[in-house]
Structure 1
Amino acid sequence: MEELAGTVLVGESFEPIRGRVVLDEGRIEAVEETNTSSTDIVLPAFVNAHTHLGDSVAKEAAVGLSLDEAVAPPNSLKHRRLAAANRSELVTAMRRTLRFMERTGTVSTLDFRESGVVGARALREAARTVTVEPFVFGSGDPSVLEVADGYGASGANDADFADERAAAGEAGVPFAIHAGEPDATDIHPALNLDPDLLVHMVHAEDEHLERVAAESVPVAICPRANTVLGVGRAPVRELLDHTTVALGTDNVMLNPPSMFREMAYTAREFDVTAREVLRMATTAGADIAGLDCGVIAPGRRAALLVVDGDSDNLCGSADPVAAVVRRATGLDVERVVC
C-alpha cells in the first residue's frame, strides 16, 4: 500500500478534496477525505491525444514554413528528414522526447507514426525504457495493424483509405484521420470513412459539427501547432458543445510535447473553463484510446501526477484546478506515478 496526500482532484469533475489517494499494486484502492498538512496537488497524469514523435529528428527545422512545406506527405521537410535518419538516430530521438514527456506528467500519447511497420516497431523500441506508453496509430499498408494499436491516416484528400479503414474495423482497432487542417474540403470525406477520431478540425463549420455530434466522433485539437503553421484556430467552444474533445501537442518539430504549455495556451486563447481544459488533457484522450486512466477514482489505474502546490510558482493560488491548467510547468512536478 502507498498513499499520496494533499489536494486531490477527484473524478471527472476534478472536485478538489483535502485527503489522500491509497494505491495498491498499480490501482487506486481508495480516495479518502482526511486532514493533511501536504501542500501537494494530485491529479490524473496526462494523455497527449495527438503527437508525431518521429519529428524528434527535426526539432525547429520547420520554423517559418507553411503546412505543405513543413509536414505534408510525401515531399515536405519532415518526410525528407525522416527518410534521411537512420534507425538508431530515430529511436534515440523519439526516446528522448518520451523521457521529456515522462518527466512532465504524460502517461500515454496517441502517436501517428510514419513509415509503416518499420516505423511502428521503431517507436515500440524507443518506449521500452520509459514509462510513457505510446498508443501507436500506424501508417502505410494495412499490415501495420499487426504491430500498431490503430491506423492513423494523413487526410482524406491524400488518398482513399477505404482499405485501411476496413482493415482497422476487421482488426477491432480505432481508425483516426486528420481533417479540416488546411481547409474544410476533407472533413466530409473523412467522416464518410466512419472514423473513431478526427484530428484538428480547424475549419469545421456548422454542417460538420452537426455530423460529428450525430455520429459521436471525438476530436483531438492541437492549438499551438495550428498557430505555428498559420492554419487558423479551431472552433473549440463549438466542438466541446458537440462532442468529446481531447488535447494534443502535434509535431515535435514545431513545439515541445508539454501538456502544461498546451493547457495554458488553450485556457488563455479560447472560451473554455479550466476544468474543460484539464478534462481535454486527461480523461478525453484516455477515453478515446480505451485507456484505464485519466480519472482519480477507486478501481482505476494509478496513473497520477503530483505537483508542488507550495512551489514558488504555485504558492497562493486560490483554485488548484486553475493553478494546474494556467500556471503550472514541468518545474512544479514532484512525481509521476505510472
Structure 2
Amino acid sequence: MHVEGTILRGRDFDPVRGRVVVEDGEIAAVEEADVDSTDIVLPAFVNAHTHIGDSIAKEAGAGLSLDDLVAPPDGLKHRLLRAASHEEKVEAMRRSLHLMEETGTATCIEFREGGVSGVDAIREAANGLDIDPVVLGRETADAMRVSDGFGASGARDAEFGDLREATREAGKLFGIHAGERDPHDITPALDFEPDFLVHMVHPESDHYDRVESEEVPIVVCPRSNLVTGVGVPPVREWVERTTVALGTDNVMLNSPSMFREMEFASKLADVSAEAVLRMATVNGAEIAGLNYGVVEEGRPAKLLVLDGDSDNLAGVKDPVRAVVRRAGHADVKRVVL
C-alpha cells in the first residue's frame, strides 16, 4: 500500500511532495514524486502522559483543587474509580482509546491506577483496537511486573525507592510526577534517576541545570496545568534544555486530543511548530523506547493522513504550522496503525 500527498519527512518534518510506500507494516520508501493528492502525511501521535481511567468522570469536580481532584488515595478521581464497576471502567477507557485512535494517536504512556487489576482492565479495553498503549502500573511492584513499567504519583506521596530499584532491575520504564504545584518534590524525584518526569511547572534554577546535565526527558501537560490552577510549564526553557514531549493528562479534565494539546502549547510557548510536532510524535516515542514518530524508511508505519483540501486546511501555506495550530478531528482522512 502507499499514501500520497505532502509528506512531513524526517525529524524536521521537511514537506516534500510524493508517496510513502508501506510493506509488511514498515515504511519501505519515501519517494519524491509529482502527485495529485492534496493530503498531508505525518507520523501518528504519541500521547506521552494519560490517565485514561478518568474517562468514567469527564468534567467532574469543577472548582476543586488539584489535591482534591487527583491526590491519592482519596482525591475525587480515586473515589470515583473505587465506586465504578470493572465493566464501567473498561468501557469508558475503551471509548477514550478509540477516540485517540480515530484522531491519529498510535500510543499513549498511561499511568494506570488499580494495581494489577487496573493494568488488566486497560489491556482489556485496548483489545481489538489498533492503538497500543504503553502501560505503567501503579501502587505495587506486581503491577509494574505485569505492565511496561511504573508510574509514580510524586515523591511526596510515598517512598518509591524499592519500587524504583525493582523497575530498574526489570529493565522497564520509571516515570514520576514532579513540580506540578511547587518545586519541593523535584529534587527527590530526580534522585530516583527516573526515565522521565511529568509536569515540571515550577522548576528552580538548579533544577534546570540538573535536568540538562542528567538528560532527563520531561512530559508537559499545559492544558491540564491551566485547568487545575497550578500554572503553566516553561515549555520554551525546557525545550532548550532537554527532550520534551506532550501529554493530555487526566481525561476527567481534558479530551485526549493531541490536536488540542499541540495548538494550546504552540500558542502558549515561544517555540517553533516543528518543535511542538516533535513533542507530539517522536519525542514521546523515544521516551517510551519505540521506533516510530518519524516518517522515514525502515520505521514502523504509524501514519496520520489529513485532508489538505478540507474547508479548514484548504489554502494552507505552511503545512507543519497548519498541523500544529489548525488541524483537528474533522480533517483526519486516514489513520495507518
Do Structure 1 and Structure 2 share a fold, with TM-score over 0.5? Answer: yes
Residues 1:6 and 2:1 aligned together = no
Deviations 1:144-176 (Å, cap 9, x if unpaired)?
Answer: 122110100000000110011001001000110
Aligned counterparts of 1:92 and 1:190: Cα–Cα separation in 2: 34
Q: Match of 1:133, SS?
A: coil
Q: Match of 1:23, SS?
A: strand
What residue identity is the alignment partner of 2:130?
T
Equivalences for residues 189-228 of structure 1 within 5 A: 189-228=188-227
Aligned counterparts of 1:216 and 1:146: Cα–Cα separation in 2: 26
Deviations 1:114-165 (Å, cap 9, x if unpaired)?
Answer: 0111101101000002111110011011111221101000000001100110
Aligned position for 2:252? 253
Aligned position for 1:43? 42
Per the TM alignment, residue 64 of structure 1 is displaced from its structure 2 partner at its CA by: 1.8
Per the TM alignment, residue 292 of structure 1 is displaced from its structure 2 partner at its CA by: 1.7
Equivalences for residues 300-311 of structure 1 within 5 A: 300-311=299-310
Residues 1:291 and 2:281 aligned together = no
Per the TM alignment, residue 246 of structure 1 is displaced from its structure 2 partner at its CA by: 0.1
Identity across aligned pairs (percent)? 60
Per the TM alignment, residue 65 of structure 1 is displaced from its structure 2 partner at its CA by: 1.4
Q: Match of 1:336, SS?
A: strand
Aligned counterparts of 2:280 and 2:234: Cα–Cα separation in 1: 17
Aligned counterparts of 2:309 and 2:113: Cα–Cα separation in 1: 42
Aligned counterparts of 2:129 and 2:328: Cα–Cα separation in 1: 20
Aligned position for 2:56? 57
What residue identity is the alignment partner of 2:158?
A
Equivalences for residues 1-338 of structure 1 within 5 A: 2-338=1-337
Aligned counterparts of 2:290 and 2:83: Cα–Cα separation in 1: 34
Aligned counterparts of 2:312 and 2:188: Cα–Cα separation in 1: 46
Q: For the aligned residues, what is the CA RMSD? A: 0.6
Regions of 4+ moved over 2 Å = none
| Structure 2: segments with no counterpart, 5+ residues | none
Per the TM alignment, residue 73 of structure 1 is displaced from its structure 2 partner at its CA by: 0.7
Normalising by the residue count of structure 1, what TM-score does the alignment of the two structures yield?
Answer: 0.99
Deviations 1:89-120 (Å, cap 9, x if unpaired)?
Answer: 00000000000001111000000000111101
Per the TM alignment, residue 310 of structure 1 is displaced from its structure 2 partner at its CA by: 0.8
What residue identity is the alignment partner of 1:84?
A
Aligned counterparts of 1:251 and 1:129: Cα–Cα separation in 2: 23
Tell me the number of residue pairs that the alignment of Structure 1 and Structure 2 aligns: 337
Deviations 1:215-252 (Å, cap 9, x if unpaired)?
Answer: 11100000000000000111111101110000000000
Normalising by the residue count of structure 2, what TM-score does the alignment of the two structures yield?
Answer: 0.99
Aligned counterparts of 1:146 and 1:266: Cα–Cα separation in 2: 34
Per the TM alignment, residue 66 of structure 1 is displaced from its structure 2 partner at its CA by: 1.0
Aligned counterparts of 1:252 and 1:271: Cα–Cα separation in 2: 26
| Structure 1: segments with no counterpart, 5+ residues | none
Aligned counterparts of 1:242 and 1:206: Cα–Cα separation in 2: 12
Aligned counterparts of 1:329 and 1:235: Cα–Cα separation in 2: 25
Aligned counterparts of 1:330 and 1:147: Cα–Cα separation in 2: 33
